[in-house]
Structure 1
Amino acid sequence: MKKHFLLFILCLFTLPTIAAEGKSPQERTVDSLLAKAMELASKGQLLPYIENSIKAFNISKAANYDEGKAKSGSYIAEGLVTVGLFKEGLKQLDIVESTDYYKNDIFTQSDVRRMRGRAYGGLMLHQQAIREFRLQQGLIKKLTGEKQVKAYQYNYENLSAVFQRMGQLDSMQKYTELQLDNLKVFADKDASMRYEIVYENLGSLYVQKGDLEKAQQCLDKSLELIKKYKIPIALNTYSILGDLEEKRGNLKKAAAFFEESLAKKRAVGSRIGVKNSYRELSDFYRTKKLDNAKADHYEMAFSRLNDSLENENRQVVDQVLSQILNLKDQESETKVSKAATITFAAIVLLLAAISFFVWRSKHNKEILVQKEEALQETETINKELTEQIGENKFNNLIELAKSNNPEFLILFTELYPQFIQALKILDPNLRSTELEFCAMAFLNFSTKNIAEYTYVTIRAVQIRKNRLRKKFDIPSDADFNNWMRELAGKPMMPLRSEDIRLTR
């Protein structure tokens, strides 16, 4: 957790400061709480950081302070993602996106994309994570100065980490080298730790790829920066040097570097780093058959420290969840206190709406009849679909489609594998965006609906329909949605697991 919290702290310091001029006492209190939260983050105090952020959020909400609500909500989401509560973090980001401040501030929009990418990565939804980070790049282009450079740096780091987890080393290398290029606007002394991290990551990458000469060059640069600028945390440089010597067959030198890595981590108090070194040393001594006694010693030390850290992490997560539940309880109490006013207003609005629609119905009878017929057709189709898969899942599917949620295609594929199979038989190379579009047509969404739910123009939807008509050879006089629904009823070969693997 603390390894991720380090990156989290660095990201926080890219956030713009909040000017206090012309603000109310409540707004200044929010700004003070957020400044305190950042100070706590710099000291690695995660729980107090989240507590201050929640306090700031509650005051912002009561004072209708839109900027404070957006920024405190972002802080809370960052904390939730950091402790591994990814779904809660995504829900908090939905709140941030509802603010006017978010809609008008490019930096906040960029940072929300970054946090969504981290959350999807934590949920192992790698393609969705990559999509968020690439959408973030479009927003970063609109930033300027140091803010833009730092945003690119973390964007490239996150993409590199995702590709590393996916085992795509060439893509990982691309984004790690982009980090190095991006840092060139800074002198070594002004970004020494960032340079050290990049050289360390490149060294590890080249070790994995078997290019030991380049790995040595990168790690030498990392060591040079550590010594020249007295960087307090050596991170994993010595451990990677151990991997390098192990690859060369120099087992004694490898053991010495692994032991030195452990000593460095102990010196700076990195308990997670120490735990990882215990695991590394135990495996090394055992697999290389160098010293079974040492292997047993480090295995025991790893088990004790790992159990302790897991227990601490559980406690942190439990406390964070408790705070979030308290926040939701406070929101519920606020809603109850306003219930009478809202009910009265709703009744007035309802009566006004009824009067309005009665009057309008006299003038638009024909249009209403057409709408009712279209609605009846859609309801009939949806009823048939609901009977096939169950009301709950179908309703969930529709909501995912309306919110343009990446999980829409996953659930649709589960519910209608025959339709997905039929499309892939026609074109095995269909992209997931094309599958999503066809799925919406299968559900009988109109052109206007698809445009609204996918945040594009009606013209863009029409162009995509025309392209798919050509690709699938759909007659020009055939209704696009009907053709999609009829496709699922055609005879098909048995479905294989590789046929429904989604790529973007």
Structure 2
Amino acid sequence: MKKYLLLSILLLFTLRGIAGDGSKHEVDLLLDKAKELNAAAKTSLQFESAIKALNLANEDKYDEGIAKAHFWVADAMLNIGLYKEAFKHLEGVQTTDYFMDEIEMQAETHRLKGKGYLKLKLFRQAIQEFHLQLSDARALKGDSQKKSYLKAFGNLTTVFDRLNKPDSVFKYIQLRLAGLAGLDEKENVLLYIGVYDDLGDFYTKKGDFTKAELNLKKSLALIEKYKAPVFYNTYTFLGNLEQEKGNYKKALTLFEVGLANMEKVGLWDAVARKCKFLAYYCRYYKLRGKWTADEYDMAYTWGKDSLDNKNKEVMDAVMSQLVKSKEKESAKKISKSITAALIALVLLVVASTFFIWRSRRNRKILVQKEDALQETESINKELTEQIGENKFNNLIELAKSNNPEFLTLFTELYPQFIQTLKTFDPKMRSTELEFCAMAFLNFSTKNISEYTYVTIRAVQVRKNRLRKKLEIPSDADFNNWMRGLGDDLLSRGF
């Protein structure tokens, strides 16, 4: 009987493990696809792939997949202007263990939050997030660190340009120039072009046309050398330079080259705005006659209407996916509940049969051992109290030194407490069990932070996550709840 029960349980968990590995692989494929779609600027498809990955990762409790899926969903929502939902998903990233353990994910999350604040013109908050990104990047190594620095410096260049602070703009451009040293030019050509573009724009605004032209020519040389597909900024800045020099016809030609590249890349929002600008430009400087300005006006109106339709299509697709994901989630919850109930019923029947048989068998053995146990009870009690006191003192010292043996000894002293915690989540990690054990021993947030070498913020995040997992009321003291769980076990004789 015992053999059959163990085989049944083993088979159940083996099947679940195989299914879990398959789901994780599928999640990883969907996330890779979302990343590729992001590079191709296909926002609605990126969202669709990322939300599918998120649903699968949540089902399998795949922590890394949950973090990355939240990230790519947030990125897609920022691009279509759903800022509130985007920030909710960024909060979702920050509640995962993967976020707590991976510095690069922390840096990228701060970058994305900064990007969101920049779009909302909340410049102070954007600057704060980009500085947090820089702080995290210090812990990275090699090219990963350099690229994270360059992204942050590039975004800060944009922020301070919007704030009309040229000294800060120049500072971050110089930091980007220094950061490019050692990076492969071909692989990172857009980073190189971006720096020279911004430097050319800076000198144009300053009135130093020689230096402006020198840097923009460096961009043109790189565009030609590597056949860079995106170069509209370079031609826009060249047009601005010629305009400042009074060469309005030449400037118009350069602006039009930039416009053509915008259309090829598919930046329809920028295309519409550029057409409106060129209509005004042609009228103001009386270039090519009235018909040219009228054509650009018509192009602007058409482009704006087309853009509104495209944004509506993207928005509809996103909202459709949100509704579908919620419907699927509800259906899966019902299906999983039925399956779980059937499995529980089968296991209950098997377990009941086994325990009845074992109870009858052990009853005879217990009667035989009872007399012998009574004879040694008084001696063992005295000895246990003495040993228990020594072990408890040792337990405290292990906790303070962050010794990995702490959980082993705690489990020995309070086995039922650990088992009860696992009834909430059988897959509860050892780090979570250690955290709950420290709370049971009434260590403060500051103590736990000090003994485990993490920040107080990290301890608070872990507490909040465990509150949700263990369904601890928000008005209940975390440590008191843990000790109350222990007291309840003692009152029931455990």
- CA separation in 2, counterparts of 1:275 and 1:327? 34
Q: Does 1:107 align with 2:112?
A: no
Higher Rg of the two aligned structures: 2
Q: Report how far residue 177 of structure 1 moved.
A: 2.6
Deviations 1:438-473 (A, max 9, x none): xxxxxxxxxx9xx9xx9579xxxxxxxxxxxxxxxx
- CA separation in 2, counterparts of 1:277 and 1:324? 34
TM-score after normalising by structure 1: 0.59
**8 A Cα contact 1:34 1:52, kept in partner:** yes
Deviations 1:462-493 (A, max 9, x none): xxxxxxxxxxxxxxxxxxxxxxxxxxxxxxxx
SS in 1 for 2:201: helix
Q: Report how far residue 269 of structure 1 moved.
A: 5.4
Letter of the structure 2 residue corresponding to residue 314 of structure 1: K
- 1:206 equivalent in structure 2: 203
TM-score after normalising by structure 2: 0.61
1:447-462 matched pairs, under 5 angstroms: none
Unpaired runs of 5+ residues, structure 1, are 1-20, 342-447, 458-504
- 1:390 equivalent in structure 2: none
1:60-209 matched pairs, under 5 angstroms: 60-209=57-206
Deviations 1:48-83 (A, max 9, x none): 221111111111111111111111111111111122
Name the Cα RMSD after superposition.
3.0
Q: Report how far residue 219 of structure 1 moved.
A: 0.8
Q: Residue 249 and residue 140 in structure 1: after superposition, are their counterparts in 2 closer, same or farther (change >3 A)?
A: same
- CA separation in 1, counterparts of 2:107 and 2:56? 25
Q: Does 1:28 align with 2:43?
A: no
Letter of the structure 2 residue corresponding to residue 117 of structure 1: G
Q: Report how far residue 122 of structure 1 moved.
A: 2.0
Letter of the structure 1 residue corresponding to residue 57 of structure 2: S
- 1:250 equivalent in structure 2: 247
- CA separation in 1, counterparts of 2:334 and 2:156? 44
1:247-326 matched pairs, under 5 angstroms: 247-266=244-263, 270-290=267-287, 291-326=289-324
SS in 2 for 1:74: helix
Q: Report how far residue 190 of structure 1 moved.
A: 3.3
- 1:437 equivalent in structure 2: none
Q: Report how far residue 191 of structure 1 moved.
A: 2.1
SS in 1 for 2:41: coil
Letter of the structure 1 residue corresponding to residue 310 of structure 2: E
- 1:391 equivalent in structure 2: none
Unpaired runs of 5+ residues, structure 2, are 1-17, 341-445, 450-454, 459-494
Deviations 1:110-160 (A, max 9, x none): 111111111222222211111111111111000111111111111112212
- CA separation in 1, counterparts of 2:19 and 2:60? 15
- 2:452 equivalent in structure 1: none
1:469-484 matched pairs, under 5 angstroms: none
Letter of the structure 2 residue corresponding to residue 94 of structure 1: E
- CA separation in 2, counterparts of 1:336 and 1:166? 53
- CA separation in 2, counterparts of 1:329 and 1:170? 53
Worse-superposed segment, 80-89 or 138-147? 80-89
- 2:212 equivalent in structure 1: 215
Q: Residue 237 and residue 111 in structure 1: after superposition, are their counterparts in 2 closer, same or farther (change >3 A)?
A: same
Q: Residue 331 and residue 176 in structure 1: after superposition, are their counterparts in 2 closer, same or farther (change >3 A)?
A: farther
**How many equivalent residue pairs?**
328
- 2:39 equivalent in structure 1: 42
SS in 1 for 2:232: coil
- 2:50 equivalent in structure 1: 53
Q: Residue 205 and residue 313 in structure 1: after superposition, are their counterparts in 2 closer, same or farther (change >3 A)?
A: farther
Deviations 1:98-121 (A, max 9, x none): 111111111111111111111222
**8 A Cα contact 1:118 1:129, kept in partner:** yes
